[in-house]
């Protein structure tokens, strides 16, 4: 049993992006401990299927179709969830999309699309659930950012800035909420096996490069979910994983200019390999 399940015996969680990837993996881990889980996602077919898996695993799934960039829809769903459960213990602002492109060539519409999902979706979840957490004087917010918030590789401006924003939101709330009994964690993983690029708009080269990094990582979503839940139970603010990501964090702080150059070198090498694979 996870420490979080002992800390929050009522076991009420809400997860966005719950139909697949990390969101689904987190839900399955919590289901093993008997949690009631609000599962929200834009893909209703996949969400219904995931809900059945959660039920088989021992959880109680509450299914919600949700576009996290729609603040009114999000607010309505929060009201339904809270009226059903009476409160919330774990909030996973996990829904997100990945994409990339040269800064000025990536359309403003695409920037707005990504900000709406990756950044505003996190903001809405926090905004709507924090009041009830303050009333309870308990709860834990877990925001999924990315090691991209640290690395900021070229051609990933939209993704990088939204994930950096999630990190900033998390750090801000950590200070604001600690006196209210509310804990905050920011999840900063590198690549692992998920479908984060399923809606990518930046073109085939972006999809192929990202998929290459995902496959090379060897990390499965369930492994990542287990580490997140374990470390959140220890009240860690920065859940940076795996080990290579923690090295990035260290070197960025120790030698920031050198680090920027290394990121550029690694990016150019990776793109060269992708280009060669096309020929």
E-assigned strand segments in the chain: 12-16, 36-41, 60-65, 90-93, 139-144, 182-189, 238-241
**Helices (DSSP H) in 86-156: which residue ranges?**
108-114, 120-136, 148-151
Phi, psi of 15 (to 5 degrees): -130, 125
Instruction: Identify the residue whose tokens are 């939209």.
Output: 158
Structure tokens at 244: 């290579």
Instruction: Tell me the DSSP string of 21-55.
Output: HHHHHHHHHHHTTT-EEEEEES-HHHHHHHHHHHH
How far is CA 43 from each of CA 18, 68, 193, rounded to the nearest angstrom?
A: 9, 12, 18
Instruction: Determine the Cα–Cα distance for residues 164 and 36; give it in Å rounded to an integer.
Output: 30
Instruction: Choose the catalytic residue: 8, 128, 159, 191.
Output: 159
Contacting residues for 265 by C-beta, under 8 A, at least 6 apart: none
Q: Is 74 a catalytic residue?
A: no
| Residues annotated catalytic, as ranges | 159
């Amino acid at each position: 049993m996870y420490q979080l399940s002992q800390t929050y015996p009522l076991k009420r969680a809400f997860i966005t992006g719950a139909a697949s990837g990390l969101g689904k993996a987190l839900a399955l881990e919590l289901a093993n401990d008997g949690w009631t889980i609000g599962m929200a996602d834009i893909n209703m077919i996949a969400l219904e299927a995931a809900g059945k898996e959660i039920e088989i695993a021992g959880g109680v799934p509450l299914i919600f179709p949700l576009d996290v960039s729609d603040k009114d829809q999000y607010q309505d769903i929060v009201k339904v969830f809270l009226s059903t459960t009476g409160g919330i213990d774990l909030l996973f602002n996990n829904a997100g999309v990945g994409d990339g492109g040269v800064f000025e060539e990536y359309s403003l519409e695409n920037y707005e699309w990504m900000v709406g999902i990756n950044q505003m979706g996190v903001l809405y979840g926090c905004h709507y659930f924090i009041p009830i957490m303050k009333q309870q004087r308990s709860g834990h917010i877990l925001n999924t950012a990315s090691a991209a918030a640290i690395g900021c590789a070229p051609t990933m401006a939209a993704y990088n800035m939204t994930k950096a924003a999630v990190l900033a939101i998390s750090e801000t709330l950590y200070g604001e909420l600690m006196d209210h009994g509310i804990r905050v964690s920011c999840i900063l993983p590198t690549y692992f096996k998920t479908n984060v690029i399923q809606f990518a708009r930046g073109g085939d080269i972006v999809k192929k490069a990202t998929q290459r990094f995902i496959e090379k990582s060897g990390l499965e979503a369930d492994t990542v979910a287990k580490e997140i839940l374990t470390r959140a139970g220890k009240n860690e603010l920065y859940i940076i994983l795996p080990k290579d990501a923690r090295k990035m964090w260290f070197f960025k702080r120790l030698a920031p200019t050198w680090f920027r150059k290394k990121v550029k070198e690694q990016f150019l090498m990776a793109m060269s390999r992708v280009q060669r694979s096309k020929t």
